[in-house]
Structure 1
Amino acid sequence: MDVNDTTDYQRCFACGQNNPSGLHMTFHIENDTVVSDFRPREEHQGFPGVIHGGIIATVLDEALNRASVLAEKPTWTMTGRLDVRYRRYVPYGPLLRVRASLSSQRGRMVQANGKLTLADNESMVLAEAQGTFMALTPEMLDTVMQDYPGMRAFFEGGQG
Structure 2
Amino acid sequence: MEIEDNEMCFACGKDNPIGLKLDFELKDDVVKTTFTPQEVHQGFMGITHGGLLSTLLDEVMANLLYLQNFKAVTAKMEVKFRQPASIGDELTISGWIKREKKQTVNTAAKIVNPKQEKVAEAEAVFIKQNS
Aligned ranges for residues 89-100 of structure 1 at < 5 Å?
Answer: 89-100=84-95
Shift of 1:62: 0.5
2:53 counterpart SS class: helix
Residue of structure 1 equivalent to 2:127: 134
Alignment gaps of 5+ in structure 1? 139-160
Give 1 or 2: higher strand fraction: 2
- Give deviations 1:88-112, integer Å, cap 9, x for gaps: 0111001110000000110120000
Structure 1 Cα separation of the partners of residues 13 and 38 of structure 2: 15
Residue of structure 1 equivalent to 2:65: 68
Alignment gaps of 5+ in structure 2? none
Aligned ranges for residues 1-160 of structure 1 at < 5 Å?
Answer: 9-69=6-66, 74-118=69-113, 120-122=114-116, 124-138=117-131
Give 1 or 2: higher helix fraction: 1
Give the TM-score normalised by the residue count of structure 2: 0.90
Which amino acid letter does the alignment assign opposite residue 105 of structure 1?
E
- Give deviations 1:90-139, integer Å, cap 9, x for gaps: 11001110000000110120000010012x332x000000000011224x
Shift of 1:70: 7.0
Structure 2 Cα separation of the partners of residues 48 and 23 of structure 1: 20
Aligned residues: 128
Which amino acid letter does the alignment assign opposite residue 83 of structure 1?
E
Asked if the contact 1:103/1:111 (under 8 Å) is kept, the reply is yes
- Give deviations 1:45-104, integer Å, cap 9, x for gaps: 111100111100000001112222576xx4121100010000001110011100000001
If you compute each CA radius of gyration, which structure gives the higher value, 1 or 2?
A: 1
Which amino acid letter does the alignment assign opposite residue 60 of structure 2?
A
Give the TM-score normalised by the residue count of structure 1: 0.74
1:121 counterpart SS class: coil
1:46 counterpart SS class: coil
